[in-house]
């Protein structure tokens, strides 16, 4: 069984969505693929990129891991540890998602499995990599078990795994990767929005030194009760209207406003701010598309709106750039 799930980019409203304000996000043409193959014995093997040996575990060992992870998550909620300590290793996200879904479906396996992940979504750069990989894993497992999965089940199971990685996720990553297309997301509810028709380019500024969870917690400490979230809301509402009318000039202005607000809450590193200022002087507009970073010089993915690809500017900063398009399909079996 092989399942694919797209990554995502937030076009407007990141961070503000955590405080009940709207965010507009779209699925993009970068994806995670989980391939499930039965194997002899009773162990579940994880073949993951960047790991020479993802390890094989029995169902009993996976249950033990799940109990440890859930205990640490409770400690996180009680303020005893940081979110980065909940999962002991990156592979634990997929191990947890696997056994959590299996338990939730009340199913048993009649053989071992190999779970092979391959992904074109940059990790740790604000593109919803963890949500997409977990969704492709759950979709492959559900299809293998011949479960008539309802979309809400996929969403809930993937969100439980996301909590172990990000602490208190808004759910936008899981929703967009599951359904595809573009949507305005607010307080767990979403409505469809047309995919933007403007040319967009994805610039890699490097993996941030702070995780999404750490960024969210730092912003919460400093801006929990700030009026700035109403400013984010105004930009996002106007952004949706500009997409619907295909008003490119208005969209670019709103992207600049969104960048100004993200800089104000401290998640756009100075080096990235300089790059975005150069993009604006060049005639385009740009903004970070994920949590950003509260330390270091790297801010993950920057989305550039312009008529031409900013190759020379990106070369000046040592960044890579590539065109990006929306994915209308979402999570599916292939």
CB of 68 within 8 A of CB of 195?
A: no
User: Given pLDDT bands bounded at 50, 70 and 90, which one contains residue 257?
Assistant: very high
pLDDT tens digits, residue range 78-100?
999 988 899 999 899 999 999 99
Q: Are residues 235 and 153 in the same domain?
A: no
Domain with residue 101: its CATH number is 3.30.230.10
Q: Are residues 160 and 286 in the same domain?
A: no
User: So what's the pLDDT on residue 54?
Assistant: 59
Residue 214 or 333, more confident = 333
pLDDT tens digits, residue range 152-202?
888 899 999 999 988 888 788 899 999 999 999 888 789 999 998 889 999
Q: Are residues 185 and 134 in the same domain?
A: yes
Q: Are residues 144 and 242 in the same domain?
A: no
pLDDT tens digits, residue range 199-252?
999 999 998 888 877 888 899 999 999 999 999 999 999 999 999 999 999 999
Domain that holds residue 272: 196-323
Q: What is the pTM of this model?
A: 0.85
Q: Are residues 114 and 25 in the same domain?
A: yes
Q: Are residues 308 and 289 in the same domain?
A: yes
Region of residue 106 (left: phi > 0; alpha: psi -120 to 50; beta: else): left
Q: Are residues 70 and 217 in the same domain?
A: no
Pull the structure tokens for residue 254.
Answer: 């709103």
Q: Are residues 207 and 153 in the same domain?
A: no
Residue 150 or 48, more confident = 48
Q: Are residues 141 and 240 in the same domain?
A: no
Q: Are residues 184 and 266 in the same domain?
A: no
C-alpha R_g of the chain: 20
Please give the tally of structural domains in the chain: 2
Residue 326 above 60 pLDDT? Answer: yes
- Determine phi and psi for 133, rounding to 5 degrees: -65, -40
Q: Are residues 71 and 188 in the same domain?
A: yes
Contacts of 21 (CB under 8 A, 6+ apart): 13, 186, 229, 230, 232, 233, 236
Spell out the alpha helix ranges (H) of 119-187. Answer: 129-144, 151-166, 172-179
Q: Are residues 268 and 142 in the same domain?
A: no
Domain with residue 206: its CATH number is 3.30.70.890
Q: Which residues of 222-241 are buried (b: 16+ CB within 10 A; e: fewer)?
A: ebeeeeebebbbebbbbbbe
């Amino acid at each position: 069984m092989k399942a694919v799930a797209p990554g995502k980019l937030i076009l407007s409203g990141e961070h503000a969505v955590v405080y009940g304000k709207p965010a507009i996000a779209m699925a993009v043409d970068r994806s995670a693929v989980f391939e499930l193959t039965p194997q002899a014995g009773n162990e579940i093997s994880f073949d993951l990129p960047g790991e020479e040996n993802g390890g094989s575990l029995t169902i009993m060992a996976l249950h033990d891991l799940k109990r440890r992870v859930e205990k640490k998550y409770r400690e996180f909620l009680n303020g005893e540890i940081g979110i980065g300590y909940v999962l002991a290793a990156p592979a634990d996200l997929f191990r947890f998602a696997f056994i959590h879904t299996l338990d939730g479906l009340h199913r048993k396996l009649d053989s071992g499995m190999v779970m092979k992940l391959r992904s074109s979504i940059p990790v740790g750069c604000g593109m919803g990599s963890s949500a997409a990989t977990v969704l492709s894993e759950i979709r492959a497992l559900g299809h293998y078990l011949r479960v008539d999965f309802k979309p809400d089940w996929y969403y809930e199971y993937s969100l439980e795994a996301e909590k172990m990685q990000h602490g208190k996720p808004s759910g936008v990553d899981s929703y967009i990767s599951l359904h595809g297309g573009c949507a305005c997301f607010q307080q767990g509810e979403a409505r469809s929005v047309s995919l933007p028709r403007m040319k967009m380019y994805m610039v890699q500024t490097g993996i941030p030194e702070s995780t999404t969870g750490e960024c969210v917690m730092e912003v919460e400490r400093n801006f929990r009760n700030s009026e700035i979230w109403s400013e984010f809301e105004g930009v996002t509402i106007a952004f949706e209207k500009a997409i619907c009318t295909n008003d490119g000039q208005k969209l670019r202005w709103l992207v600049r406003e969104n960048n100004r607000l993200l800089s104000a809450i401290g998640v756009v590193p100075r080096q990235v701010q300089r790059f975005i200022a150069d993009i604006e002087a060049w005639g385009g507009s740009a903004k970070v598309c994920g949590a950003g970073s509260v330390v270091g010089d790297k801010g993950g993915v920057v989305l550039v709106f312009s008529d031409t690809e900013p190759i020379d500017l990106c070369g000046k900063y040592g960044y890579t750039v590539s065109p990006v398009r929306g994915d209308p399909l979402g999570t599916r079996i292939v």
